[in-house]
Chain A
Amino acid sequence: MEKELNPGKRGDVELVADDLDEALLLEMFRKAYTIRRFEQRCVELYREGFIRGYFHPYLGEEGVAVGSIAAIGRDDYIVSTHRGHGHCICKGGDLKLMMAEIMGRETGYCNGRGGSMHIANLDDHNLGANGIVGGGIPIATGAALGIKIKKGGEVVLGFFSDGAANNGVFGESLNLAAIFDLPVVFVLENNHYAVSTPVEYSSRVTDLARRADGYGMPGVTVDGNDAVAVYLETKKAVSRARRGKGPTLIEAKTYRHGGHHVNDPGLYMDQAAMARWKSRDPVDLLRKRLNDDAKIREIEEEVESELAEAVEFAKKSPAPSVEEFLASIEDY
């Protein structure tokens, strides 16, 4: 595990972690637990036939979304991936509207038009998930450009994966962001697999943060299972971006708890590595940082009831009207 990280670049993370505000830690735990349970519930609902299409769980990667999004404010923007429910939840997503969207209901975030891979929550400045690997990287860059044009003070977190890092727009976009000092933080979720292809196969350099050097921006590798470590690194990068100093590439190393999507058993995955990563489960790590069992239980119960309510809401929600849909099509 430790060998897979780059301890030299973690700086003072461990020291600062002890000083973290307890309320913030509790909130991080709440978010991580919410993602974990939401995703597990969705997998069940998929098996029961309530959810169709592709569903890509974020199970095991919760630390990245929780830590990074805790480091930005409500007005700041995020651009998500096809594995985007965790980002959406952390950015203030309403479980009811998310669940309804994933079930394709009219009451969902996108009125059942988007589904799991396309949830956007513009009120909370979540610019949306994306069905194209790498497709969101230029959009995140452009959102930062738009902020500059508007002379705004927000920053953008652009999420993508190790798979997307081999897409042409990765290099193009990092270059653009760097030369214009755009207020964007690129959060590379290195979950070690691009669908089924291991990162060791598709990149000679597996510490992908090193690619930042070639574009003239800081690159840092962080333990993605440790939400606090992600939080602290993101804080620094966000502060840098807000001061007009330009982008940062944060590579958060983490591991999927299963295959690429709900119907992929992930038999190609390295089981020894899986066991190592699971022994440092991101939800458990946060739980251990808190010494308040009563608080933890309270949060867990609240989340369970919120989730049950969301499932109930989605199940009871109407399907979109086919007639209204057909009438709304702009046929030009």
Chain B
Amino acid sequence: MAEMMYREALNMALREEMQRDPLVFVIGEGIGQRGGSYKVTDRLYEEFGAHRVIDMPISEASFTGAAVGAAIVGARPVVEILFIDFSMLAMDQIVNQAAKYNFMSGGKGHVPMVLRTQGGAGNGLAAQHSQSLEAFFYHIPGLKVVMPSVPYDAKGLLKSSIREDSPVVFIEHKLLYMTKGEVPEEEYLLPLGKADVKRSGNDITVVTYSYMTLKCLEAAEVLEKEGIGVEVVDLRTLTPLDKETILESVRKTGRALVVHEACKRGGVGGDIAAMIMEEAYDDLDGPVQRVAGKNTPIPYNIDLEKVCVPTVEEIAEAIIRMV
């Protein structure tokens, strides 16, 4: 198995799907000859041409809407929105159009599109380029939300997302693009709605996703030395949510901590914590807890930025308090 970067795994997924299906095409800002700001569409323009790797003017609402229209007539667009912050400009098309079309047409119409975007803090990009907005999309019936944490998952999940007949919001994290992992060169698919136990342990379940998975794994490793067994459940997809894997783990460990980078208030974590308490209360040895981002816009200054999102120490401390 080859070791490659997260962004290379995504690139491979796009290339394989575009080779497999001539109806798959990608659109976005600067994704053509330039290969995208994060190089995810690198060299696709050379291989597939301007007909299928299409640079867009800066107009998120209309090019996202154009993807909806193209998907309705049977093409399979993959839209890149450079920063998740910019997806706010396209919310009508994502929420009112793409998410509702299948339902409103009585199940007759389909929107097989993927909206790839990128979120998270960590590069000093300040308040309008650092948000974690997955809860917006998680809240909307009709959308699937995928947030892989490692290159292997990124490739398998992107390929599955492209083959989905419903709209998928595929959220990457800017700090993950250069992370490395083993990725098979051959074809494989990972199902949406299947969480992955990235590390098993008997004392506590940590439910997390995206970049925070790496932080939770780091915390688990530190705590291992202190004799605490941490099970890290990486959700991989928020919708569909793999409740079974979460509950199975909680039933085994009796404790659950939910960790995400997005603001705590109104975050996905509150929903998952409530779900655990509703469905596995009798198996719990204590209340479900959350470690999440502070309820603030992300500041520019690097020291201030750091304290806004969960750190390995914070996660480890929460676990110690709970076990």
Which residues of A are at the interface with B, using a C-beta cutoff of 8 A?
77, 79, 108-114, 118, 120, 122, 127-128, 130-132, 135, 137-150, 156, 168-169, 172-173, 175-176, 179-180, 330, 332
**Of B56, B61, B97, B106, most A-chain CB atoms within 10 Å:** B106
Knowing A110-B105, A132-B96 are in contact, say whether A127-B63 is a contact too (CB < 8 A).
Answer: no
Contact, CB under 8 Å: A139 / B104: no
Given contacts A142-B72, A176-B59, A332-B239, 4 further A-B contacts (CB under 8 A): A109-B106, A122-B108, A150-B23, A176-B57
A128 & B109 in contact (Cβ 8 Å cutoff)? yes
The reply to whether A149 and B105 form a contact with Cβ atoms under 8 Å apart is no
Chain B residues whose CB sits within 8 angstroms of the CB of A146 once the complex forms: 69-75, 77
Residues of A within 8 Å of B201, CB to CB, are none
Q: A150-B74, A176-B59 are in contact. Are A139 and B69 (CB under 8 A)?
A: yes
30 contacts across the A-B interface (CB closer than 8 A): A77-B73, A109-B105, A110-B105, A110-B106, A111-B107, A114-B105, A118-B105, A120-B105, A120-B108, A120-B109, A122-B105, A127-B69, A127-B72, A127-B73, A138-B69, A139-B72, A139-B93, A141-B65, A141-B69, A142-B67, A143-B70, A144-B69, A145-B69, A146-B70, A149-B25, A150-B75, A169-B62, A175-B62, A176-B56, A176-B63
Residue of B nearest to A77 (CB): B73
Bound Cα distance from A93 to B93, whole angstroms: 25
Chain B proximity of A176: nearest CB distance (Å) = 5
- Compute how far the CA of A127 lies from the CA of B193 in the bound complex, rounded to whole angstroms: 30
Cβ B62 vs Cβ A173 within 8 A: yes
Q: Return chain B residues, CB-CB under 8 Å to A137.
A: 62, 65
Chain A residues whose CB sits within 8 angstroms of the CB of B59 once the complex forms: 172, 175-176
Residue B64 CB within 8 A of the other chain: yes
A147 engages B105 (CB within 8 Å): no
- Asked if B193 and A332 make an inter-chain contact with CB atoms under 8 angstroms apart, the answer reads yes
Q: Is the CB of B62 within 8 A of A141?
A: yes
Nearest A residue to B142, CB-CB: A330
Interface size on B, residues (CB 8 A): 41
Chain A residues with CB under 8 Å of B189's CB are none
Nearest CB in chain B: distance from A331 CB, A: 9
Determine whether the beta carbon of A142 is less than 8 Å from that of B68. Answer: yes
Distance between A142 CB and nearest chain B CB, rounded to angstroms: 2
Chain A CB within 8 A of B103 CB: yes
A128 and B104 within 8 A (CB) = yes
Whether B64 and A110, one on each chain, are in contact in the complex, defined by CB atoms closer than 8 angstroms, is no
Assess whether B104 is in contact with A147, with CB atoms less than 8 Å apart. no
Say yes or no: B73 contacts A143, CB within 8 Å. yes
Tell me which residues across on chain B come within 8 A of A120, comparing CB atoms.
101, 104-105, 108-109
Q: Nearest residue in B to A158 (C-beta to C-beta)?
A: B69
- Does A149 lie within 8 Å of B69, measured CB to CB? no
Q: Kindly list chain A residues whose C-beta atoms are within 8 Å of the C-beta of B109.
A: 120, 122, 127-128
- In the complex, A138 Cα to B93 Cα: how many Å? 8
Residues facing A in B12-57 (CB within 8 A) are 23, 25, 51-52, 54, 56-57
What residues on B are CB-neighbors of A111 within 8 Å? Answer: 106-107
**Complex Cα spacing A139 to B65, Å:** 5
Chain B 72-94 near chain A by CB (<8 Å), digits 1 or 0 = 11110100000000000000110
The residue of chain B having its C-beta at the shortest distance from the C-beta of A125 within the complex is B73
**Within 8 Å of chain A (Cβ to Cβ): is B241?**
yes
Decide if A142 touches B106 in the complex (CB within 8 Å).
Answer: no
Question: How far in angstroms is the closest Cβ of chain B from A141?
Answer: 5
Asked whether, in the complex, the Cβ of B67 is within 8 Å of the Cβ of A135, the reply is: no
CA distance A168 to B58 in the complex (A): 12
Indicate if the CB atoms of B70 and A135 lie closer than 8 Å. no
| Bound CA span A120–B64, Å | 20
The complex places the Cα of A168 from the Cα of B103 at a distance, in Å, of 26
Cβ-defined contact, A135 with B96, below 8 A: yes
Given A113-B106, A143-B73, A332-B193: A149 touches B101 (CB 8 Å cut-off): no
Which residues from A are CB-within-8-Å of B197? Answer: none
Which chain B residues lie closer than 8 Å to A150 at the CB level? 23, 73-75
Q: A132-B92, A138-B62, A146-B74 are in contact. Are A114 and B68 (CB under 8 A)?
A: no
Q: How far is the CB of A185 from chain B (nearest CB, A)?
A: 14
Instruction: Report Cα–Cα, A176/B71, bound state, in Å.
Output: 17
Residue of A nearest to B101 (CB): A128
Whether B240 is near chain A, meaning CB under 8 Å from some CB there, is yes
> How distant is A37 from chain B, measured CB to nearest CB, in Å?
25
How far, in Å, is A182 (CB) from chain B's closest CB?
A: 9
Interface centre among B52, B63, B66 (most CB of A within 10 A): B66
Among A139, A143, A179, find the residue whose CB has the most chain B CB atoms closer than 10 A.
A139
Q: Least Cβ distance of A76 to chain B in Å?
A: 11
Complex Cα–Cα for A326 and B68 (A): 27
Given contacts A128-B101, A172-B61, A176-B63, contact A145 B108 (CB under 8 A): no
- Flag if B108 contacts A142 (CB, 8 Å): no
CB distance from A79 to the nearest CB of B (A): 7
